[in-house]
Amino acid sequence: MLDNLKKYHILLASNSPRRRELLSQLRVPFNVICLGGIDESYPDSLPREEVAQYIASRKADAYTSRMRDNELIITADTVVVLGDKVLGKPKTIEEAMEMLMSLSGRTHKVCSGVCITAKNRRTSFTTVTEVTFGEITPDEARYYVDNFMPLDKAGAYGIQEWIGCVAVEKINGSYYNVMGLPLHQLYQELQQF
């Protein structure tokens, strides 16, 4: 599958173990590279559903000067949008608790932006999934933050972990998107690349 990519050395530019695991499910050979210190800020005027794609493109920009002709780089970013607020990765356990409690009993959007870049070509897209949390108690949120790793996840949660089992009432859209890489749309885009 994806024979059109055989001419490329595929690179996933990500620190995320989940993205590595997810991309490996597409059965395309790839290597992981990662630059530190990439600016992930965005203009406040940017529509909230476009933030992740904007950041994914900024990440791609950081690699373009180092690219070889036969390389294809995949960059991605995921944010949670609750109302008009963007929830990225929490910086502290307290912030993670606040995020989880703000999601309790509400529907939010998980937006993943992906950028596919080769030397003379680039395409990018955003996938949006709606996730509805049932009511969770502060004790449940505390159990999650004490026993899992919410600080490396947008919105302070991983749907594939305990909190997903007990809090996620329903999703509308891609489950893999909520994990951090929208595999269906990525596969479609890679087929066309």
Residues noted as catalytic: 77
Q: Which residues pair with 123 in a beta bridge?
A: 116
- 180: which 2 tokens? 């951090």
Please identify which residue in the block is written with the tokens 């597409």. Answer: 26
The closest of 109, 159, 107 to 135, measured between CA atoms, is: 107
86 φ/ψ sector (left φ>0, alpha ψ -120 to 50, else beta): beta
Please identify which residue in the block is written with the tokens 């302070």. Answer: 156
- 81: which 2 tokens? 């949008």
CB 129 within 8 A of CB 174: yes
Alpha-carbon dihedral sign for residues 163, 177, 42, 73:
positive
